[in-house]
Structure 1
Amino acid sequence: MPWSKGDYPPSMKNLDSRVRNKAIEIANALLEDGYEEGRAIAIATAKAEEWDENHPKDKE
């Protein structure tokens, strides 16, 4: 089941919205590639947090 900004897994509820939106994007791509939901959520959350660290909001 694909997720959206308004309908996402409960485990993503405490993520910053920027990280959560990226995690949703990644998780949906993983689902399309055949990953099961639980695995897609875990991978997407980790990768979204990694992405956030490497792409700061304010580039100075």
Structure 2
Amino acid sequence: MPWDADYYPASMKHLAPDTREKAIEIANALLREGMDEGMAIRIATARARQWTAQHGGIAGPSA
């Protein structure tokens, strides 16, 4: 099921808003490609944290 700013996995709850937005974007793209939901969440969260770090932001608490 696609996620948005109001509906997203509980594991993304503690991410900073910008990082969460990027994680949701990445996770939805992975789901469209047919990836398993759990794997999509883990990969999207990790990639969003990397993206945030590269762009000078704060990713929020690490999991």
- Amino acid in the other structure paired with 1:2: P
The TM-score normalised by the length of structure 1 is 0.92
Identity %: 56
Per the normalisation by structure 2, the TM-score is 0.88
Runs (5+) with no aligned partner, structure 2: 58-63
Aligned residues: 57
Q: Give the drift of 1:2.
A: 0.3
Q: CA deviation at 1:56?
A: 1.6
2:30 is equivalent to residue 37 of structure 1? no
Q: Structure 1 regions of 5+ residues with no counterpart? A: none
Q: How far apart in 1 are the matches of 2:56 and 2:26?
A: 18
Distance 2:22 2:56 in 1: 13
* Alpha-carbon displacement from aligned partner over 1:14-34 (angstroms, at most 9, x marks no partner): 000000000000000000000
Larger RCO of the pair (alpha carbons < 8 Å, separation 6+): 2
Within-5 A mapping of 1:12-23: 12-23=12-23
